[in-house]
A = this chain, B = another copy of it.
Amino acid sequence: MNNSLASKWQSIEGGITAPNGFLAGGIRAGLKESNNRDLALLLAPSDATCTATFTQSSVRAPCIDLCQKRLSITQGGARAVLINSGQANACTGERGRIDNFLITDALASHLKLKEEEVLICSTGVIGVPIPVETVINNIGKLITNTSDEGGNNAANAIMTTDTFNKQSAYEITINNRKVRVGGMAKGSGMIHPNMATMLAFLSCDVGVSVEAWKAMIKRIVDRSFNAITVDGDTSTNDTLLAFTSGEPIEKEYLELLEEGLTLVSQDLARSIARDGEGATCLIETKVKGASNEKEAIHIARTICSSPLVKTAIHGKDPNWGRIIAALGRAGIKIESNLIALGIGPYKMMESGVPKEFNKKRASDYIASKMGKSYKKVGAVEINISIGKGEIYGVSWGCDLSRDYIKINADYTT
């Protein structure tokens, strides 16, 4: 993976419904006090195959068990996903399980699908059940509002504490055939209190065999959603569903397809990292010279998740000592005298020994990356080289501000 990928793929408008055959929608069902959109539907073409990644938490919402079981029964043959925001329906005991059956059963009837082909994802407050009747009464309206132009409404309807919706889509022409990949996600860089953290959905209008698709999505998730530092890794409801559908392409182009889906996923992952509570900038840590990618990403994540690095960046302080301390405790064997370190264009350490640098300019560099739109200003780049091997890895995070404390300490259950 390198940064020149974007040159082949064209970024386009839209998200989950950009690829051919995918329909989505999002409506106001009254599940959230804010009266924002709160109920979304995603429909996949009849030939679609879905693979999933679920939370690693030992405390899982019942929707996770339902999705996992049904995807196993149908071998990825999911056709519809209902997503409700406002109530996570986690820690709700037997009732939570029953409510999921009732809702998916109603949706399956409306859509004339088998129950196993219908999935549900929930995000919201832990311990609070879904208002089942409200959801079921709104299914008709939801279906009516589902179309190939409904991606934006769906992306809005799955938001909870998000301050902006998260979508991405890319296009490429392969042998005169237009190919599209897209996606939507929700989640904040720091897990919100009782909120289920991260939901992500990917779509692609090229058919890929089940096994190849599973392997491809696993690699992509490791380089995107698993490379952002959410405050602790995983929540009760985290789910990623990735759909492939349509005519296959020649095997030789699969790598190119993977690149496109990686671009979408990294866009979404960066959006989640940047939307951390109270954050004022995106932080991108690049680790070079690792012996493998897992190691590189692990080091990069350790640095991105350090509260001391995060507060230093927030204070516009090019404090390399905090970065080196985080690097040291990543648990990876490193020869100190091979370490090089810098922030943006400024080099602060070479061969393990500090270098003189212009602190004022380095601070100005950090300040220049602060702003609402990270797509415009870019990320604060932290560059590390550990001189062990040839492998590169990257992770994304955000700074840590007083507003994070404000939002999280003043929020009351």
**Complex Cα gap A284–B336 (Å):** 36
A190: chain B residues at CB < 8 Å are 307-308
**Complex Cα gap A246–B340 (Å):** 49
- Knowing A194-B321, A233-B329 are in contact, say whether A405-B405 is a contact too (CB < 8 A): yes
- A410 with B329: CB separation less than 8 A: no
- B408 with A311: CB separation less than 8 A: yes
- A327 with B405: CB separation less than 8 A: no
- Knowing A232-B326, A236-B325 are in contact, say whether A353-B409 is a contact too (CB < 8 A): no
A55: chain B residues at CB < 8 Å are 328
How many A residues face the partner with a CB closer than 8 A? 68
A311: chain B residues at CB < 8 Å are 404-405, 408-409
Give a binary string over A117-146; 1 marks a CB under 8 Å from any B CB, 0 the rest: 000000001110000000000000000000
A359: chain B residues at CB < 8 Å are 413
Whether A209 sits at the interface, judged by CB under 8 Å, is: no
- Looking across the interface, which residue of chain B has its beta carbon closest to that of A92? B353
A307: chain B residues at CB < 8 Å are 190, 231, 307, 404, 408
- Looking across the interface, which residue of chain B has its beta carbon closest to that of A88? B321
- B318 with A231: CB separation less than 8 A: no
**Complex Cα gap A234–B329 (Å):** 6
- B127 with A329: CB separation less than 8 A: no
**Complex Cα gap A334–B327 (Å):** 31
Selected interface stretch from A57-65, A163-171, A211-219, A367-375: A57-65
Whether A191 sits at the interface, judged by CB under 8 Å, is: yes
- A408 with B312: CB separation less than 8 A: yes
A388 nearest CB across to chain B (Å): 11
- B325 with A413: CB separation less than 8 A: no
In the complex, the count of this chain's copies comes to 2
A231: chain B residues at CB < 8 Å are 306-308
- B336 with A60: CB separation less than 8 A: yes
- B93 with A352: CB separation less than 8 A: yes
- Knowing A324-B91, A330-B58 are in contact, say whether A404-B405 is a contact too (CB < 8 A): yes
A59: chain B residues at CB < 8 Å are 324-325, 327-328, 334, 336, 339
Give a binary string over A307-349; 1 marks a CB under 8 Å from any B CB, 0 the rest: 1100110110111111011111111111011010000000001
**Complex Cα gap A332–B58 (Å):** 7
**Complex Cα gap A315–B57 (Å):** 25
A192: chain B residues at CB < 8 Å are 308
**Complex Cα gap A123–B393 (Å):** 32
- Knowing A232-B326, A321-B127, A353-B91 are in contact, say whether A405-B58 is a contact too (CB < 8 A): no
Whether A412 sits at the interface, judged by CB under 8 Å, is: yes
**Complex Cα gap A330–B330 (Å):** 17
A352: chain B residues at CB < 8 Å are 91, 93
Whether A406 sits at the interface, judged by CB under 8 Å, is: yes
Chain A residues 367-413 with CB under 8 Å of chain B are: 400-402, 404-406, 408-413
A56: chain B residues at CB < 8 Å are 329, 331
**Complex Cα gap A194–B306 (Å):** 13
A95 nearest CB across to chain B (Å): 9
Whether A207 sits at the interface, judged by CB under 8 Å, is: no
**Complex Cα gap A141–B341 (Å):** 40
Interface residues of A (CB under 8 A from B): 55-60, 91-93, 125-127, 190-194, 231-236, 302, 306-308, 311-312, 314-315, 317-322, 324-334, 336-337, 339, 349, 352-354, 359, 400-402, 404-406, 408-413
Q: A59-B336, A317-B412 are in contact. List 10 more A-B contacts (CB 8 A).
A: A57-B328, A58-B327, A58-B331, A190-B308, A194-B322, A194-B325, A232-B325, A233-B329, A311-B408, A401-B405
